[in-house]
Structure 1
Amino acid sequence: MRSLRRRTGEAVGLLFVFGFAVLRPSRFWPPKWMLRRIAASAEVRAERESAAEKLLARVREIEAGVPWLRALDVVIRDECVDVRGHHISLFEASTSTRESMTCRMSAFIVFSPERDPEDAVAEIRRTFPPPDGLSPGGISESLHWDTDERKVAVEGAHDALWARLTRRHGEKSLGQLRQENGALCVWALRGQPYFTVV
């Protein structure tokens, strides 16, 4: 009987520790409404403008460095995302350094070469290659193109707390641009988080 009581006590203790470890972060993390308010604040707006300047400066460098590249559109995707669900762990000693929200901006240069997209990308990599790793401005870059199996997309988070999408050349979708111009290529520039809430 004692061993049954002891095992029951141990099980209840483990459940208490588990529940505390999982539920404890939610007591300290700000609620979503507060994160949305922070994302729209003047402080974040200033960081957002600085991030946009860096991205657009790099877009201009690319357009100058590849003279034949004619952008059909330049899409800027700016998002603040709740990242709390990505960090729950029973084995971390502290939750004080975990992030609640990160804000990040990406730019996508959409173009359609007058040749096979794979050949066009190969030429870019020879003559004006994207940097390996991060550029000096903290931007990661990659090139993608339409294939028979996969069409390029400009994707973002579906559950962003705050989001803004801007286009240089109007509101045409990638599908419309593809229909009018043929196969598309996308030069993706993804900035590091410009604002983080812990």
Structure 2
Amino acid sequence: MRVLIACEYSGRVRDAFLALGHDAMSCDLLPTEAPGPHYQGDVLRLLSDPWDLVIAHPPCTRLCNSGVRWLAERDLWDDMRAGAEFFMACLNANASMVAVENPVMHKYARAIVGRGPDFTVQPWQFGDPAKKRTCFWTRGLPPLRPTSDMQASDARADCHLASPGPDRWKERSRTYPGIAQAMAMQWGGTDLVQMMEAAE
């Protein structure tokens, strides 16, 4: 498959698909942290190209519930609307299968997007001992199925307790390895083929 991982600089999801033999490329305004196929620039230039699968991680700063208080206090409504429009551009990418990841949205962004997520996951469900509720809006894809017996009690909230600093946002935005592997196996491996055959 031709796979685009939008708004990814870590290369984690891209590399998981590459390992399965897919033609995968990441894209971000930042350079990639791991050597591999990467387009450094505006992903809007790529979303209209034909892809089999697009997985996007658009910025959540103005869309997430945790930052809703700043919208009125700092008059960030235009930024919020621009963020929601970018989110929708990712969701409407030229691909038969699309997944867009974000944290829990506040009601204003959700009104623009028009619906809530199709499913949510936690890193500990995929073997990473961390708590970070992650939401997915999808087209043409099944929900990710947990791959670990780990429980919430085994996980830490390190992401939310991270020390302030210039790179805090960057550290918090990396996809956890277990979720990246699940995406590749379930959306780009034999798991998806078996699920599609079973649905026919």
- Tell me the TM-score normalized by structure 2: 0.26
After TM superposition, the score normalised by the length of structure 1 is 0.27
Structure with larger Rg: 1
Q: Which has the higher contact order (CA 8 A, sep 6+)?
A: 1
Which has a greater percent of strand?
Answer: 1
